[in-house]
């Protein structure tokens, strides 16, 4: 059983120096491999495909792009600016 003085990564005993333990950084066992370029490309393609599927298939079931565009087209520019500012504030919060 370990005592509170025996923490992982801590040197105790005569090699600790001055009677106090000091924390020793563990040596990396293996180098952290960077993801291959093909994996990054695959992740990007999958993300774009997911967003396209959401906007192409799921969103039209709940809202009509035509009616949204007609509503925006009927607004004056101050109202459209207000809607855009409100949407940006909503996304930021």
CA–CA dist 62, 59 (Å, integer): 5
Q: pLDDT at position 15, please?
A: 53
- Joined together, the tokens standing for residue 89 give 């504030």
Q: pLDDT at position 25, please?
A: 66
State if pTM tops 0.85: no
C-alpha distances in angstroms, 18 versus 3, 37, 90?
20, 49, 58
Which helix or strand (DSSP H or E) is residue 47 part of?
A: helix 37-53
pLDDT in tens, the chain (93 residues): 555 555 555 555 555 555 555 566 666 666 566 668 889 999 999 999 999 999 899 888 888 889 888 998 999 999 999 999 999 999 999
């Amino acid at each position: 059983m370990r005592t509170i003085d025996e923490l992982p990564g801590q040197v105790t005993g005569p090699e600790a120096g001055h009677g106090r333990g000091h924390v020793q950084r563990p040596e990396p066992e293996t180098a952290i491999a960077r993801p291959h370029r093909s994996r990054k490309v695959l992740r990007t393609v999958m993300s774009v495909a997911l967003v396209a599927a959401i906007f192409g298939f799921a969103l039209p079931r709940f809202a009509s792009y035509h009616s949204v565009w007609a509503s925006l087209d009927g607004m004056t520019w101050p109202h459209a600016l207000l809607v855009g500012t409100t949407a940006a504030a909503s996304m930021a919060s």
